[in-house]
């Protein structure tokens, strides 16, 4: 965790294969698992600070790119996912999130749509998303989460290997933090960009790690074949 006097920055990493296996077993995507971990981390931040979570809902926004083979010069509005904060079980949270993201993509009639399918978010999607967040972010959502699949193999520059890659999402729409997720060379990195005065990043990390432990235990449970 780093802090420069103006904002805080936290980074957490996991093997991408573990996230993918959890998603496969529980019928979710890597993006759904990342949203679940972020939700659990926010919940842990609140409870650690003594804040009530009963009856509260976390509204997150996730950018969505057009389906492969389609043309949309204006991009698409982000998906908004709402999760009750009083769900203590990450498995139940994952089910809620998966249901919403699946329904949102289906409603847009893109049967092959994937959350941010390209290695980099297309510029028009980022521009449209930023405009939308600046207008509506603070009043409609609490957290901005972006998930970008990166290169599956290491990158090299002048015979030097890029060992790690960490994304940083901007603070927009009056939201006090933004979460960015990126895969690179078999590792999934989650970073938190926090506004000044937000000092509970250690509890965010603890909540995220606890959620991953709970989800990972599902890999040891026999599940019926679909």
Please tell me the distance from the alpha carbon of residue 103 to that of residue 111, in angstroms, as a whole number: 11
**What is d(CA 212, CA 134) in angstroms, rounded to the nearest whole number?**
31
What does the pLDDT average to over 144-166?
93
Q: Virtual CA dihedral for 84, 87, 89, 94, nearest 10 degrees?
A: -10
- Residue 119 banded pLDDT, cuts 50, 70, 90: very low
- On whether the CB atoms of residues 36 and 27 are closer than 8 A, the answer is no
**pLDDT (tens digit, 9 = 90+) per residue, 174-188?**
788 999 999 999 999
Residue 145 has phi, psi (to 5 degrees) of -125, 130
Q: What is the pTM of this model?
A: 0.81
Backbone angles phi, psi at 180, to 5 degrees: -120, 140
Q: What are 6-64's pLDDT values in tens digits? A: 789 999 999 999 999 999 999 999 999 999 999 999 999 999 999 999 999 999 988 76
pLDDT value at residue 117: 44
- pLDDT band per the 50, 70, 90 thresholds, residue 110: very low
What confidence tier does 224 reach under pLDDT thresholds 50, 70, 90?
low
Instruction: Kindly tell me if the per-residue pLDDT of 194 is higher than 90.
Output: yes
């Amino acid at each position: 965790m780093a802090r420069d006097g103006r904002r805080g920055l936290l980074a957490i990493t996991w093997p991408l294969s573990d996230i993918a296996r959890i998603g496969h077993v529980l019928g979710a995507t890597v993006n759904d698992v990342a949203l679940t971990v972020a939700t659990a981390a926010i919940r842990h931040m609140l409870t650690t600070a003594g804040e009530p979570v009963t009856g509260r809902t976390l509204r997150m926004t996730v950018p969505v790119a057009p389906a492969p083979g389609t043309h949309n010069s204006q991009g698409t509005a982000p998906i908004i996912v709402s999760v009750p904060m009083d769900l203590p079980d990450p498995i139940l949270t994952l089910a809620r999130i998966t249901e919403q993201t699946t329904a949102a993509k289906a409603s847009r009639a893109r049967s092959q749509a994937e959350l941010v399918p390209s290695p980099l978010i297309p510029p028009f999607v980022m521009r449209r998303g930023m405009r939308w967040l600046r207008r509506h972010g603070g009043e409609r959502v609490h957290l901005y989460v972006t998930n970008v699949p990166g290169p599956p193999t290491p990158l090299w520059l002048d015979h030097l290997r890029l060992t790690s890659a960490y994304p940083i999402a901007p603070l927009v729409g009056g939201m006090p933090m933004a979460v960015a997720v990126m895969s690179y060379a078999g590792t999934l990195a989650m970073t938190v960009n926090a506004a000044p005065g937000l000092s509970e990043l250690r509890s965010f990390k603890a909540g995220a790690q606890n959620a991953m432990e709970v989800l990972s235990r599902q890999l040891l449970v026999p599940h019926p074949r679909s």
